[in-house]
Amino acid sequence: MNTDEKQIELRNKIMLGLDKAYEKLIEFKKYKKTELVVMKDGKIVKIKPE
């Protein structure tokens, strides 16, 4: 396995971890019934998770 393949594999693992963390965050926000704060078009926006 060369360096490029290792970097691609590492990137894929990181992306899967971020996806899982995002799903857990949404689940937690739904459980606590709190808003999710994100930046959209350069502005801070509060969203209710559904």
pLDDT in tens, 9-21: 999 999 999 999 9
CA distances from residue 19 to 2, 26, 43 in whole angstroms, order as listed: 26, 11, 23
**CB within 8 A of 48, min separation 6: which ones?**
35, 36
* CA-closest candidate to residue 33, choices 50, 21, 20: 50
What is the helix (H) or strand (E) element at residue 12, kind and residue range?
A: helix 3-32
Backbone angles phi, psi at 39, to 5 degrees: -105, 130
pLDDT of 50 strictly over 90: no
The pLDDT assigned to 37 comes to 94
Q: What is the pLDDT of residue 9?
A: 96
Range of the domain at 25: 3-47
Whole-model pTM?
A: 0.74
The tally of domains found in the chain comes to 1
